[in-house]
Structures are given as C-alpha cells and as structure tokens.
Amino acid sequence: MKRALYLSASVLSLVCCNAAYAQLQVSGGVETVVVTAERRSENLMKTPISADVISGGDLAAKGVVTVDQLQFIAPSVTVDNFGQGIDFNIRGIGKGEHNSQTATGVITYRDGVATFPGYVAEEPYYDISDIQILRGPQGTFVGQNATGGAVFVDSNNPVIGGGYDGYVMSGFGNYDDGMVQGAVNIPVSDDFALRVAGFGDARGSFYSIQDTDPADNCPHQKYANCKPGYNPGDVRWGAGRVSALWKPSEPLTVLFKVDADYLDNGAYPSDPFEDGFHTYQGVGGTNTHYTDLFHITANAPQSAMDRFVRTSLKIDYVLPDGITLRSISGYQTASTDYTADLDGASFVDPHFILTPTLGVAYGVDNFTFFDKVGETIYSQEFNVISPDTGLVTWVFGAYTQANTYDFEKPYQFVIGEPATSLASIYALQGNNPNQAYAAFGQASLNLSNGVQLQLGGRWSDSRSKNDVQILQFGSFLADQQHTESSSFDYKGSINWTINDDQFVYAFIATGFKPGGLNVPVGLGVPAPFGPERDTEYEVGWKATWLDGHMRTQLDGFYNDYKNFQVTIGYPLFPTFGFEVNDPNASKIYGFEAETQASFGNFAFTGGIGLMHSSLGQFFATDPRIASFTACDPATGPASSSCIDLKGHPQTYAPNFSLNLSAQYTFDVGNGDKLTPRVNYAHESDQWATLFDNSLLGDHLAARDILGAQLDWTHETYDITLYGTNLTNLHYVAALNSGLRFAGFPRQYGIRLTKLF
C-alpha cells in the first residue's frame, strides 16, 4: 500500500455533529439507511443493489481513514496501493493491472462528481456524511469505469436555519503523529449557509531505511544526513473544504463545494520481494539481505507530492408537477510528483544479478523512477427525475467529461539509471487527452402486491489520444495514436417487496471499461487494447428482523467477464510489456452476507464474502522472465515460457473476506457514557499477478487485522483511546515492479473531540 499516504489512526474520529454515532446507538433499532446511487434517495433495504452505506460515525468506529481501509469493512472489496494511484477491485473486477494506460474499473464520486481515476486517489476522509460502496457493474447510472462497482463519498452539507455548530478534534499517536481537524456551520441568512471544514496531519515514517552507498555520505542512517531529496516517508497533509448552500425559493436548491488538498506524502518506501525469502530462490544458500518489511535499504532520492483542487456545483429545480431538473458540474485539477528507488536496494548482490532457475535480473542497485504529471477534468451531468411515487417512475440523463493527462516537459517521466546518459533511460513527455459522452435512463413499473419491474440502459462513447514523445535508450520515438470505444449497457430487474420487512430481487446488469493505447518501445507502434465488458447475474434477499433491531442482506452473483485487460510480454521481446485482452471470458461467482443489529446499548455489524475466479484460456509470457520464444495470446503454443493461464485466479481477488465489529455503551452516571469497541477483518491469501509464481513474490499471505477503541463521552466532549492492527502484523499488501509494499503497522494514540 501507499505507505506515505496513511494518516495516523488518530484521524479515525470523523465526528461532525451530536449524532455522530447514531447509527450504532439507536436504542429502538437499526437506523434506516438511504442510498442515492440511482439519482434519488431510496431505502437501501428496498433497492435492488448490493451495497454498504457507512456513516461518518461508523467510519470512526471502524477505523477507516482513507480508501485503502474500505477493504476491511465491506465484503469482496480489495484496495491495492502501489504509490502513485491505487488498484481498486470489487468482486475481483476493477483494475488488475497497475499502469497509467489501464482505466479503473471502480470509480469514486466525491459530492456527485467522478474524481481522478488514476492519480491522487487517496484524499483524506474528514467531515464525511456517508460513503456508499456499490458492488457489481453500475453501467446504467455510472457508466464506463464501473465494471466492478462504484464508491460515492459525500461530505456534510451546510444547514440553512441552523446555528453556529460544528466540531474540533485533535489527536496524538505513535510515529510522532499529530493531527487536527474541524468544521463549522455558518448560517449567513434565511436562505444561505456556509460550512467550512479543515484537516491537517503530520506523522513520521513507518520505516527505517539504510543507505549503504558511500557516495551518498549517509551509511546506516535514516536519511538524516543525506543529500537533499531523501525522505523516509514523513507525512505532511493539509486539506480544506468550503461548502455553500443557497435556497432562494422552495423549488430551487444550489449547492457549491470547493476542496483543496496539499498532500506531502514523503515517499513510497518498498524493497525487493527477494528480501522476504530466507534463502536465495533457485540457487540456495542463506539470503543475507532477508529483512523485515519496515527495515529496508535504498540509495536513490524519494519523494511524493500530490496537490489538487476540485469544485462541484449541484443545482436542483423542482417543477410544479414534482419533476426534478438537476445539473451537476465539476472541475478538477491536480499535480503529482513522484521519485522512487525503483530497485528498492542500495547493494549489488551476485545472487540477484542472475537467478539461473528463473533467468531474472535483480539488484540493479541504481535504478530509479520519477515523474511529474498533471491532470485536469471537466465534467457535466444533467438529470430529469420523476416524483418518487406513481405507477411509473423514471430518470433520464446525459453526461460528458474531458480528462487530460499532462506528462510535463522536458521529459519529466523517466525510468532507468540516473539521467547522466540518455542511453540508460526511458523517458516520456506529452499529453493524453480523453473524452467521454453518455446518455442514460431507467424506468420502474410499480405493480400491485409489491412487484416492481425496472429497465435501464446507457450508451457510452470513450475516446483517447496519445500525443507524446519518447526517448528510449537514446532513440527518439513519436507516439501519435487514438482509439475509440463505445457500448450500450443495461440493467433489467424484477423486485418484490413481500412486506415492510422482506424484499427480494433478481437482475441482469452489464458494465463497460474503455480500451486504451500502448506506448511504443522501439518495436513499432503496438495496437490499442480493447474495452472490457462484464455481464452480471445477481439475486438478493434483504430483511429486517426482531422488530427492527436487526437487518440482513444476502446475495449471490455470477459474472461473465470478457476481454480482461492484462499486461504481458511482447511475443518476440518479452522483457517489454504491453497490454492486450484475454480472448476468452473469465468466470467470477460468489456469495455475500451482511448483518447490522442494535439491541439497547449493544450493537454489532458483520459481513462475509465468498468468491471464485477463473481466467479464460489465454497464453502469455511473464515479462519478468527473459524469453525469446513467440507466444500468441490466443494460440500459444504452450511451453516453459509461454504459459497457459486458463483457470488461474484473478489478481487481488481473495476467495474469502470477513469483517466484524461490536460495541457496548455503558451509562456511567451524570449522562456520561463509556463505549468499548472492537473491529476485526480477515482477507484470505491472494495473487499479485496472473502468473501465480510464488518464487517471484506473487503469493500474498492472508491477513487478520484487529482494532479496538475505548470512548468516553461527557456532554459535548469525547475522548477516545484507539489502536489499529493491534497484533502488529507485518504483511505484504501489494507487489509492483518486483517491489513489495507493506500494509500499515500497529498505530495507537488518543484523540479529543469537542462538539459545539
């Protein structure tokens, strides 16, 4: 995971108001949860969708700080952080390949606006109203980039007619962590209100990093006396949000929000996967470089800086007949700067130069990467929404987006040796503009006896263009390509509200992720790769029990996943990678169950996900292993280097996931409350690549994450002792470019919140 982007667990309190923990503490039963994924507010328990809706208070109670930790509170969710961006998968579908040309398959919306799909993926959660995690393809309402699902994050809105209320919170923890955040509602007039929220965090590195290169003048130091540019992963974060709500008349509502984040992440430390082996693989003998995940070596500068501004404007106008006209406009601009020790080492070991069994070169010793990339997004959506009642309800809409990646000049994207010689680097500059257009709609026929028929569809068109220049080991290459993908996706559902407490549904839904462009590597201009398409069949049962004290969600799903986008070795030059589509469909199916309950002072939640994935027949050469044998993706032929991947599991798709949380509130007199909480999550083992080669670090072990809190509430004050990953499990969370990235270690501390 992106180590430097982890805020301290002291940020876990996202309390914003007196009702912060309401959902877990409703004495009369579990609170009704509303989902807005289909452009209207609906009861989650009566909506044909598999989803989790987590309030801001629940985020605090379950220890969720950034997007990475969503995987520990919802079944069938995996988030893999490699530094500059994340690979987000739901039910094994999303982004299985970590590179800039592959689009995401799980898109995130912030306050109604689709956010950055590649970079700047981990802005902090603060002053949050709720997060909605939608599982399965969302082709009708979200469109492209939602083959696996979607996440909607909504911050708290201003309140017209309210008072000057809000919260301030500070926290202190291990790793020299200090944090502060807060928000205030400002009632400007009878029809206008503001909400201002802010956040800051400073934390030391999780890592001890040694540089054994004498030329760097800092042997065996934690980069304390090294030359400028060295950073072990110290975090310095600052973020702010201003929201304005204007309601000049009953029909018209205008909501404007602007976010600005400065995220100095320090570094993304990682080390070679070989450091996790006790013996040299393939040659035997004790590995003298075996080490813990958080005690590593490096000899190249490291840095990581993300900055962005996002604005959103939502305008609702309700006509006299109850029809709502809606406009949602977004503008976002971001920059990301990243410098890394790409081989993750400061030594040269002859055992790592060539492993005879695998034929893999390691220990380059001075291999680096850096880039400076800008991204700008304009988006506009229009909706026409019928009233919520009637024989037929409907939604129609249109959407357009322009997203441009700017790889800064002169050649600020560099892979290779330090740039003392053009013959030793691969460098790129230019831009990659993308456009998307869509029209969509859904209609619901509300029949007698609680039966409802739904049918929706979306036409999408996506276009991508490369206008880049490349320097490859001294040779100049021009890349002027374009590609276009279009799709019609749909959802058809049969729903039955048996009674107020029982709801069942069955649907078929499709999703679409556009294709993209491969970058030339001196072997001519490679063909674009095509779009992915997913067809999902799902049945579900939602129920409320025990006079409203417990609710359950059960679902089963089957995915016919076609044209999976995967990076393989060039057929005649496998040491270079390029992206193609799996010519045969993959199969992914599973079962999920969730429950939430509240019995007086005791409350608990739980979720379980079972999943099986199997690739369609597909031949590929692992680009990490040198081979010059031709290998056609469709026909092979199979050999020691041309591997038949049929039946292999999807990457980062654990077969089993489990999350549990429980709390009990003790009344200790004078209105004070003492609440202990415990959270537990398990993810089974998984594979980091499709080749399932444990000798190359592909196998990631299962992980069990335990957290706890002790919360004392006195009037408007709240004091919380917290701990996350209490067993201090050191586990590999992701693998990329031969480097292993660690999951976050144990964190603990105290935070104080004052409501006003």
**Inter-residue contact 220 to 210 (CB < 8 Å):** yes
- Does residue 122 lie in a domain region? yes
Q: What angle do CA 489, 493, 494 make, to 5 degrees?
A: 165
Q: What is the pLDDT of residues 266-276, one digit of tens each?
A: 888 888 888 88
Residues of the chain with pLDDT under 50: 1-27, 220, 224, 351, 353-363
pLDDT at position 353: 46
What the block records as the tokens of 329 is: 């406009």
Q: What is the CATH number of the domain that holds 173?
A: 2.40.170.20
CA distance linking residue 126 with residue 26, whole number of Å: 23
Note the pLDDT of residue 506: 98
**Phi, psi (5° rounding) for residue 262?**
-120, 110
pLDDT of residue 169: 94
Find, among 395, 389, 499, 482, the residue nearest to 441 by Cα.
395
**Domain ranges, residue 42:** 3-235+250-755
Q: Is residue 243 part of a domain?
A: no
* Of 369, 458, 423, 412, nearest in space to 143 by CA: 458
Torsion over CA: 626, 631, 634, 639 (sign): negative
Return the pLDDT at 701: 94
139 part of a folded domain: yes
CA atoms within 13 A on the CB side of 152: 21
Question: pLDDT value at position 212?
Answer: 62
Contact (CB, 8 A) for 331 and 310: yes
The span from the CA of 255 to the CA of 246, in Å, is 6
Tell me the three-class secondary structure of 381-445, residue by residue.
EEEEECCCCCCEEEEEEEEEEEEEEEECCCCCEEEECCCCCHHHEEEEEEEEEEEEEEEEEEEEE
Q: Is residue 567 part of a domain?
A: yes
Query: Is the backbone of residue 275 left (phi > 0), alpha (psi -120 to 50) or beta?
Result: alpha
- What's the per-residue H, E or C state across 627-686? CCCCCECCCECCCCCEEECCCCCCCCCCCEEEEEEEEECEEEECCEEEEEEEEEEEECCE
Give CA–CA dist 128/24, Å, rounded. 16
* 240 located within any domain: no
Q: What's the CA angle centered on 701, arms 134 and 135, to 5 degrees?
A: 5
CA dist., res. 582 & res. 93, Å (int): 14
pTM: 0.90
Residues 590-641 pLDDT 10s: 999 999 999 999 999 999 999 999 999 988 888 777 676 778 888 888 887 7
Q: Is residue 415 part of a domain?
A: yes
Beta strands in 111-231 (DSSP E): 113-114, 128-135, 149-155, 166-173, 177-189, 192-203, 208-210
Distances (CA, A) of 573 to 479, 570, 579, 625: 19, 5, 14, 11
**Residues forming beta bridges with residue 267, ordered by sequence position:** none
Number of domains in the chain: 1
β pairing state of 149-155 and 106-110: parallel
Nearest to 147 by CA among 522, 612, 480, 564: 564
